[in-house]
Amino acid sequence: MDIDKKDVSLSKFKGKVLLIVNVASRCGLTSSNYTELSHLYENFKDRGLEVLAFPCNQFGMQEPGSNEEIKQFACTKFKAEFPIFDKVDVNGPFTAPVYRFLKSSSGGFFGDLVKWNFEKFLVDKNGKVVERYPPTTSPFQIEGLESPADGRRSSESSYRIGDNGTSGGKN
């Protein structure tokens, strides 16, 4: 479900590279990340990149606003044009399905938990999670990939996103 409470199937993004990010409006990382995500989206959307933002209030209660307040903040202050979804949980018993998938597909150093706001997951055109970035990684560092719109990395994960057709937002 998107920020406007409209159903959105992740299959809509099939064939595109996805940068999926849990966002918050009142985090110390907010300004730099929203600015850089907007820049990244603007520069690569025509080459098949989609930035998908999932507001989350699980870290320091830093996303307390309503969907309308979140949308107003992101779209007015940071000129965000990328899709923003309904507020979700990224950890715990009510974890959104999309985040269950992302976490189970990436593991590694981070383990099963999203650690903080602005953790980033890169998903290739085939729906495979190919990279997971900590909150402190600048979106501009991701832009520096040899072929960002292809989402190519060294991972051989066989997991795919968009096959079940849901974004996993909370109602």
The rounded radius of gyration (Å) of the Cα atoms in the chain is 14
* Distance between CA atoms of residues 33 and 40, nearest Å: 10
Whether residue 27 lies in the annotated active site: yes
Hey, is 22 helix, strand or coil?
Answer: strand
The predicted-structure confidence for 129-163, as pLDDT tens digits, reads as follows: 989 999 999 999 885 444 545 555 444 333 334 44
* Distance between CA atoms of residues 19 and 123, nearest Å: 6
Position 23 scores a pLDDT of 98
Proportion of the chain above pLDDT 90, given as a percent? 71
pLDDT bin (cut points 50, 70, 90) of residue 60 is: very high
Annotated catalytic residue within 1, 23, 27, 56:
27
Position 108 scores a pLDDT of 57
Residues sharing a CB contact under 8 Å with residue 83, sequence separation 6 or more, in sequence order: 2, 8, 50, 51, 52, 53
pLDDT > 80? residue 111? no
pLDDT bin (cut points 50, 70, 90) of residue 106 is: confident
* Distance between CA atoms of residues 137 and 141, nearest Å: 7
Which of 124, 141, 119, 131 is CA-nearest to residue 22?
Answer: 119
The predicted-structure confidence for 72-105, as pLDDT tens digits, reads as follows: 999 999 999 999 999 999 999 999 999 999 998 8
Asked if residue 70 lies in contact with residue 25, where contact means CB atoms within 8 angstroms, the answer is yes
